[in-house]
Amino acid sequence: MDPDILAYYDRKPETDRLAAGPGLIERVRTQHILRRVLPPPPARVLDVGGATGVYATWLAGLGYSVRLVDPVPGHVAAARDSGVDAVAGDARALAEPDASYDAVLLMGPLYHLTAPEERLAALGEAARVVRPGGVVVEGVAGWVPGAEAAFTDERVLALVASVEEEPALVGASAHILAIATPPS
């Protein structure tokens, strides 16, 4: 685990980030998009970089079968305390079988994994564990230089059949989402 990431979340706990201000707008808008693009419950969702489980608990409440993966021990513990099936792990090497989820959320790891090869590893793992025809929701931070390359790199595009960008969160926060469908 990168000590800089641990130190960052010690300074800035994720617990309340989405509860007020721009974070609240980000959460409501993200939930709106997720309701539109995810297959209906009880679909299996893997929330990679799910932090303390804000989206995972909400999705579980809607009837989804959700597992959360995050490398920060405090995040995993907080998610478990909220009743989420949460495990320690890394987006670049998921301990999940091929094609075992209907949807994968990757809304967080790409903020931290800024090197192209790291991003490709994370996106490749998401494409591996989602079933053919499933959905991958990718989030990047607009303030990371070259963030758009996460969606335009030819090697990334080879992993997906279609990419639908949702830039509407820019302005409320730096969160940009792309909805990807792997080839069937």
Ligand X SMILES: C[S@@+](CC[C@H](N)C(=O)[O-])C[C@H]1O[C@@H](n2cnc3c(N)ncnc32)[C@H](O)[C@@H]1O
Using CB under 6 A, pick the residue from 34, 109, 166, 177 that binds ligand X: 109
Q: Are 92 and 125 within 8 A, CB to CB?
A: yes
> Which stretches of 32-129 are assigned E, i.e. beta strand?
44-48, 65-70, 85-88, 101-107
Q: How far is the CB of 146 from ligand X (least distance, A)?
A: 18
SS3 16: coil
Amino acid at residue number 77: A
Q: Which residue is at the shortest CB distance from ligand X?
A: 108
108 touching ligand X, by CB under 6 A: yes
Which residues are within 8 A (CB) of 167 and not within 5 positions of it... i.e. 6 or more apart?
Answer: 176
Using CB under 6 A, pick the residue from 38, 43, 59, 72 that binds ligand X: 72
- Contacting range for ligand X; rule: CB under 6 A; set: 32-40, 102-110, 124-132, 151-159: 102-110
Number of residues located near ligand X, criterion CB under 6 A: 21
Backbone angles phi, psi at 164, to 5 degrees: -115, 120
**Residues between 134 and 163 with contacts to ligand X, criterion CB under 6 A:** 139
Strands 44-48 and 65-70: parallel
135 bridge partner residues: 103
53 touching ligand X, by CB under 6 A: no
96 touching ligand X, by CB under 6 A: no
Using CB under 6 A, pick the residue from 57, 70, 102, 144 that binds ligand X: 70
Q: Are 182 and 158 within 8 A, CB to CB?
A: no
**Residues between 6 and 35 with contacts to ligand X, criterion CB under 6 A:** 14, 18
Residues that bind ligand X (CB under 6 A): 5, 14, 18, 48-51, 70-72, 75, 90-92, 107-109, 111-113, 139
